[in-house]
């Protein structure tokens, strides 16, 4: 067993060296900004499925693999993140268009227009716009707008906020046209992103089909033959763990390759602690 593992390690090292020489780029794993929240129902279902597999087959690694797959699989394959980003940007386009309409109708300054827009803000941004209104009264327009951008943490929001801040600082005209143009651009980006997301869904569907085929094949072989009996041994569990790890890396890599692109922010703290 040890010579085999040494051979595998040498093969992995050789592949890594070749990848470095060729210049293969791997997806960058960034730390998520939000805390990870466990879903009790999914966690209970995953533990139950893993316990059943462990008890029926007698495979500890198989039970752990099934538990992890049941809990993490839907998270890696669902597309709620891309849909949420598209919906939020659509709501942002709707809000800035209403804000432009209020400014064009003579609502006063930015502060008054923001306060009036809170009454008809899109549902997805209603709480953020209300908070922006209160902060504008308490802190002033620019700090409130920067806090609004930090709450949403989106480069497209930064672009809108930057236009509003320039108007607060320098005054002048032309903001209405800028907001209307930004709203049109946002809607075009949303449509393009949804079209791309439809293409991203194809490899996710293929992964689900492959996973179902593998699970069905293992179940049939386990019930109809003794071909998988060797996996009940210690060596078999080690090999099963290796196969499961390869599958896990493939699924995680596919998830990062098909995740929606995010706009880079620029209204952030610089290295000296100030604001850009």
Whole-angstrom distance, CA of residue 192 vs CA of residue 189: 5
pTM: 0.64
Whole-angstrom distance, CA of residue 58 vs CA of residue 163: 63
pLDDT of 97-147, one tens digit each?
Answer: 999 888 888 767 788 888 998 888 899 999 999 999 999 998 988 999 999
pLDDT of 56 strictly over 80? yes
The position carrying tokens 């179940």 is 219
Q: Are 152 and 124 in contact (CB under 8 A)?
A: no
Q: Which percentage of the chain shows pLDDT scores above 90?
A: 14
pLDDT given for residue 34 in this prediction:
40
pLDDT of 33 strictly over 60? no
Tokens of 232: 């009940």
Q: Count CB-CB contacts under 10 A for residue 10.
A: 10
Averaged pLDDT score across all residues of the chain: 79
Whole-angstrom distance, CA of residue 61 vs CA of residue 237: 6
**Domain spans in the chain, listed from the N-terminal domain onward:** 40-87, 106-200, 205-225+241-258
Tokens of 214: 């593998």
């Amino acid at each position: 067993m040890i010579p085999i593992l040494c051979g595998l390690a040498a093969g992995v090292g050789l592949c890594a060296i070749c990848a470095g020489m060729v210049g293969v780029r791997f997806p960058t794993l960034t730390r998520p900004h939000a805390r990870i929240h466990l879903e009790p129902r999914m966690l209970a279902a995953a533990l139950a499925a893993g316990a059943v597999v462990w008890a029926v087959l007698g495979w500890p690694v198989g039970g752990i693999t099934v538990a992890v797959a049941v809990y993490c699989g839907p998270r890696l394959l669902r597309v709620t993140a891309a849909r949420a980003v598209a919906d939020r940007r659509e709501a942002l386009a709707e809000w800035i268009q209403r804000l432009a309409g209020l400014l064009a109708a003579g609502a006063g300054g930015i502060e008054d227009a923001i306060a009036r827009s809170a009454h008809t803000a899109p549902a997805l941004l209603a709480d953020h716009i209300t908070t922006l209104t209160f902060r504008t009264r308490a802190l002033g327009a620019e700090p409130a707008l920067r806090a609004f951008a930090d709450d949403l943490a989106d480069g497209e929001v930064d672009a809108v906020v930057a236009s509003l801040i320039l108007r607060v600082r320098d005054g002048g005209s032309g903001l209405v046209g800028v907001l209307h143009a930004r709203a049109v651009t946002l809607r075009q980006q949303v449509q393009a992103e949804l079209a791309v997301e439809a293409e991203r869904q194809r490899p996710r569907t293929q992964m689900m089909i492959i996973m179902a085929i593998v699970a069905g094949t293992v179940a049939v072989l386990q019930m109809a033959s003794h071909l998988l009996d060797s996996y009940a041994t210690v060596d078999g569990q080690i090999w099963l763990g290796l196969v499961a790890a390869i599958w896990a890396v493939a699924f995680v890599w596919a998830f990062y390759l098909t995740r929606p692109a995010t706009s880079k922010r620029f209204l952030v703290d610089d290295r000296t602690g100030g604001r850009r």
